[in-house]
Amino acid sequence: MRQIQILISFLKDIYKDRKLLFELAKKEFEMRYLGSYLGIIWAFIQPTVSILILWFVFQVGFKSAPVSNFPFILWLICGMIPWNFFSDSLQAATHAVIDNSYLVKKVVFRVTVLPIVKIISALFVHFFFITVIFLMFAIYGYEMNLHNIQVLYYLFAMIILILGSSWLTSALVVFLKDVGQFVAMVLQFGFWLTPIFWSYQILPAKYMFLIKLNPMFYIIEGYRNTFIHKKWFWEDPWTTVYFWAVCLIMFIFGATIFRRLKPHFADVL
């Protein structure tokens, strides 16, 4: 009951500070590419190049066949784009407290929102690439349909997963710098172990449950269900329940650790 009250209070604080959060996220987004000739354009170039390289290697080089009777590039971007958002925002949010040490030392500032600022900053790029998904499907002759609105549900689900995880990692990295390297390593392994450019259906049935334990499996397949398979999230109730159970545990655990370590941030920084 107390955790629910804390969550409600936290959501009210976010709503109250929504303008400040947006301004901080905008500043964070601009500062990341300050000094480079192309500026914020790099935020869109880098993930685009990554997608094109993987497409070239597997479509042109390995001559990968269409997946689920869909062009490989469409199937690929439905996995790569959400993963890029998850990876970029989690890595950035992990260092949110350290990067904003000057704000941590201000008594009146709510340090809890710092990871959210990083996530919102990454959202600017992700919204652009969601638009790219719609455009690519239109170019290939696939019309929009009602299932496409699910992208908002899966985006919300991913944000909750990132927020809970980043509260934990951003609090621990203040005291253990190795946490940042550990997160980068986990994301690197996660990229290859998550069915982003390969279909989990190629695995033997006895190993499929291991892949489904990864919460990002739910998100990646969710984007593909939204744009390709035309399947609603409630049609797979057990996977949905499992994902939200993991999210809830991570959210509460991350918030608890962050709240307990927060009073010591200023002393360490």
Q: What is the pLDDT of residues 5-19, one digit of tens each?
A: 655 666 666 667 677
Residues 220-232 have pLDDT tens digits of 999 999 999 888 9
Of the pLDDT bands very low, low, confident and very high (cuts 50, 70, 90), residue 67 is low
Of the pLDDT bands very low, low, confident and very high (cuts 50, 70, 90), residue 87 is very high
Beta bridge mates, 67:
70
* Cα radius of gyration rounded to whole Å, the chain: 19
DSSP state of 67: B
pTM: 0.86
Q: 73 φ, ψ to 5°? A: -65, -35
Residues near 1 by Cβ (< 8 Å), separated by ≥ 6?
none
Q: What CA–CA distance (Å, rounded) separates 32 from 42?
A: 10
Q: What CA–CA distance (Å, rounded) separates 47 from 31?
A: 18
